[in-house]
Amino acid sequence: MKMLFFSADKSEVEHVSQEFAQAGILSEVRTSSTKLTSSPEVELWIKNEQDCHRAFTLCVRLGIGFAKRPFQPEEVEC
């Protein structure tokens, strides 16, 4: 198994896990609690390491998980 990414936002991790399932990529969601953070982090693990490249490609294509782009408002000229 290989951890793909983690987030404090459980819904984001579960969304990516659902996308992986639809693509036939087996994954597992785990919650890790450390004393260094106030909220537990949720991790997404890929069960088969040979699916890692497909999983990364899917994240980039969909703009999810580690490839999520931050919101930037567009500038509009008047």
What's residue 70's pLDDT? Answer: 72
SS3 at position 6 = strand
What's residue 78's pLDDT? Answer: 63
Q: What is the CATH number of domain 2-67?
A: 3.30.70.260
Residue in the block written with tokens 């990516």: 16
Q: How confident is the model at residue 5 (pLDDT cuts 50, 70, 90)?
A: confident
The two most distant CA atoms of the chain are separated, in Å, by: 52
What's residue 32's pLDDT? Answer: 79
Interval 13-66: pLDDT, tens:
999 999 999 999 999 999 876 666 667 889 999 999 999 999 999 989 888 887
Q: Where are the domains of the chain?
A: 2-67
This prediction has a pTM of 0.76
